[in-house]
Amino acid sequence: MQTTDIDFVIVGAAKCATTWLQRALQSDPQVAMPDPELHYFSRHFERGLDWYLDQFPSGAADRLTGEKSNSYLDTPQAPARVHAALPHARLIVQLRNPIERAYSDYCMLYRRGEVGSDITRYLDPDSATKRRFLDDGLYYRQLEPYLERYPRERLLILLYDDMLRTPQAHLDHVRSFLGLAPRALPAASRKKVKDRTEPMLSPSLRRLMQPIRPAIEPFRKTPLFRAVRRQVVREIAYPTFPLALRNRLAGYYRPDIAKLEALIGRDLAHWADPAEADTPFGLMADQSRKTAHQYS
């Protein structure tokens, strides 16, 4: 396969339901996509182009071929690398309210045991030292290098909000951009992609087990391992998201959102409204946690 055979790349953003989009496209036999995120143009560029091309399914040259790696949006080197190898590819970006994206990203690392419960330490624009949660939501800044290299018509900018409201129309829009006929949304894509209410090991226990993970990995699928795991997992209680912190984040993102609005011709003022939050964790009653957002 030659690089010109790669027709499209979903470049991000992280925690914006691009996995939902990938699975919906993969359900079409006309589309060929590697199952894992390759992260070639961001984290594994040293492996070389041959390695990259070898990751695509056999017979992919006869189908519409693409891949999805969220890190291509937030890695500064990625746009130049993508363009050098795939100058004629179509690019897809799916964007979510950056405030909710930051909180969802924080919750993911919290349940992994990689961050603590002091949410202000990680999400306060004035004091956070781990800038990943904050800066990965500066979408216009991340899109600029792609817009400098690709014609605007080759970059499809989608909104997570639209996927929530009208998933079939959302998918039809993507398929039209890729030159595909409309196709019914697969049943699997109507279900949850990731469920933060699913019982898991507590963050503290995950941290304790981190050093021995390589040793227990071969046993993860055994009945005994699963039986033991069922005894120790529980639903994660996520730290609350204070309204004052949310408002500070709204101010932090406001200049970037204004540029994004001008670029896509959409009013995104609702992103700063707590009543429009798509992550009810920490903002609503405990009962809302049971029906927490499907695609976080």
Q: Which residues pair with 10 in a beta bridge?
A: 68, 92
pLDDT over threshold 60, residue 51: yes
Residue-wise pLDDT tens digits, 82-131: 999 999 999 999 999 999 999 999 999 998 889 999 999 999 999 998 89
Q: What's the pLDDT at 291? A: 32
Question: How open is the CA angle 155-194-120, to the nearest 5 degrees?
Answer: 85
| pTM confidence score | 0.81
Residue-wise pLDDT tens digits, 171-220: 999 999 999 999 999 876 654 445 455 555 555 555 565 677 676 677 66
For residue 18, how many other CB atoms are within 10 A of its CB?
27
The full set of domain ranges for the chain reads 3-97+134-195+250-273, 203-232
Identify the architecture of domain 3-97+134-195+250-273 in CATH.
3-Layer(aba) Sandwich (3.40)
Q: What's the pLDDT at 283? A: 42
The DSSP 8-state label assigned to residue 276 in this structure reads: G
3-state secondary structure 194-230: CCCCCCECCHHHHHHHHHHHHHHHHHCCCHHHHHHHH
Residue-wise pLDDT tens digits, 20-39: 999 999 999 999 999 889 99
Q: How far is CA 286 from the centre of its chain?
A: 25
The DSSP 8-state label assigned to residue 64 in this structure reads: E
